[in-house]
A and B are shown apart, each in its own frame.
Chain A
């Protein structure tokens, strides 16, 4: 279908679809695959053509094209060059035209400094042996939860101290909270299968749990967020841990957003809300206005599950995160989740995503240090998330003080996501963040779960290799071991906050 562009709502296209007419065989694969109405076939002209203004640069057409006839190119800035206004003109126009604040998705895409890339790892030479993980044992298993301050034993040598409930992780990597609703059924299925196979956990997110996914019991972390969607006794019981979501790195200070476009029949059943209505969670939990209130919810959940599960509290990395974290630990959280500002989201106002929060590297370092200084670090395990892109980010996070990490975006990229930032539209061309029953078929859970398993296995091997190089044979010995990190291209103050030495020192 062709239509004229509407100048009243027009902003210049970001991408242009370049098609090599010699290579194009008119098979129309791209036409069927484009879920954003950017590709059309004209029978009269026998031509495939594009409506560039609709193209989001998701690369689906280019990927599916059997003759590689398609190239998606980013258009140059269309207006007169202007250093201070570039990147702001279209945003301003959109607000003026549509009268609403733009909603975006994925993580913060602004060019803020990435501290992972300014930290270097150590290796053993001569005076201490490096370890070969292919020939020698290497331990990645870790336990999350409250650890006792000391151990006491009975006279027969058996353990007297009661150990608090723990999460057992075979790899220190978990899949972060991405709700059924934000993600398609097949993706949740794939995450569940991969977590089960790898002996780790996936997080249900705040949208409740589809009844089909109760089969992943033992590998689910269930989330209780401010909207309380889909929270009931069986839901709490199926989780290996319960996560209270106070904040999310991509949108600190506001609640979850699920646009009504994505609230389908099954989502409405799972979330226990009307079909097609926006699911906008309240910004705060309306029963939490203090540390004492948080403590009440933590213990209400512990009571409801008979003290058999660790309670996690997830907070976004914000300015005085160390003090907040200390309060959260004292409120009784067994696991503290820190989410950095590069963390992803299914929908967030652009101003919030791009301007609020802290890099996870800094937040993690200050929280770990603060909890150690206060002598309460063993009361809690720290899980870091928000901007973990590769296995070395995992190693650096653990060396900075994390017990384990959450990956979200990385997991989605593993199963096809190209980070086109259209999750909020519900039209994901890769079948990941959509509830359209036809689009969501694009993720085959068999293929997707295998890719996730491969990813975790490869990352585990890479972590073992680098730990071996450092002469460490257990992930527990790496945790908080900041002597294995050196800063490069960082200011003294930044290194002081990170608690690391400069390269060469």
Chain B
């Protein structure tokens, strides 16, 4: 299984991973429309900064995923590719996954009217190379075999 490797030595804290993630998960997949016309999705990765350290972090797709253990509805599940994915149909917005995640990479999307929805890296199912990896200008994110 391939995962996104984080190389903090190369991260320049440019946020382009976040930008790419937002565009990829938008309706139009157009950068201007995603940011300025549509309701902007939440970036699944986060660039963290504490001088001089910086890196982008997103779901590690753990073998023993604490979020899956914590999920009461089975919305957090492992898909056929082996990645940990949220099923929005089943998510009730109890946020237990967020409490359980040791990396803090699951985010709340409050814009779902009733239930709320956990948002996390889905490893770009429609792409061969995740959007954040493609956007990274300094190879601080690479898509490699585990």
Contacts and interface: CB of A to CB of B under 8 A. Distances in A.
Interface of A: 22-23, 25-29, 32-33, 64, 66-67, 431, 436-438, 441-442, 444, 446-447
B10 to A, nearest CB: 5
Contact of A29 (B9, B16, B35): B16
**Residues of B in contact with A, size category:** 20 to 34
Contacts of B54: 438, 441
A447 B140 CA distance: 11
A438 B139 contact: no
B32 A442 contact: no
Contacts of B51: 438
Nearest to A431: B12
9 contacts: A22-B32, A27-B18, A32-B14, A32-B15, A33-B14, A431-B12, A442-B138, A444-B10, A447-B139
Contacts of B19: 25, 27, 29, 66
B13 interface: yes
B36 interface: yes
A268 to B, nearest CB: 17
Nearest to A442: B12
A441 B9 contact: yes
A184 to B, nearest CB: 12
Nearest to A436: B52
B52 to A, nearest CB: 4
A64 to B, nearest CB: 5
B31 interface: yes
A253 to B, nearest CB: 38
Contacts of A431: 12
Interface of B: 9-16, 18-20, 31-32, 35-36, 51-52, 54, 135, 137-140
A431 B20 CA distance: 23
Contacts, number: 57
Given A438-B54, A441-B11, A444-B138, A64 B16 contact: yes
A446 B142 CA distance: 13
Contacts of A437: 52
B8 to A, nearest CB: 8
B52 A32 contact: no
B123 to A, nearest CB: 21
A441 B14 CA distance: 12
B26 to A, nearest CB: 11
A27 B138 CA distance: 18
Nearest to B7: A444
Given A28-B15, A29-B15, A64-B14, A438 B32 contact: no
Given A66-B135, A436-B52, A438-B54, 11 more contacts: A27-B16, A27-B18, A28-B15, A32-B13, A33-B14, A64-B16, A64-B137, A66-B31, A431-B12, A441-B10, A447-B139
Nearest to B35: A25
B37 to A, nearest CB: 11
B55 to A, nearest CB: 10
Contacts of B32: 22-23, 25, 67
Contacts of B35: 25-27
Contacts of A28: 15
B7 to A, nearest CB: 8
Contacts of B12: 32-33, 431, 441-442
A26 B14 CA distance: 12
B52 A438 contact: yes
Interface centre among B9, B12, B18, B51 (most CB of A within 10 A): B12
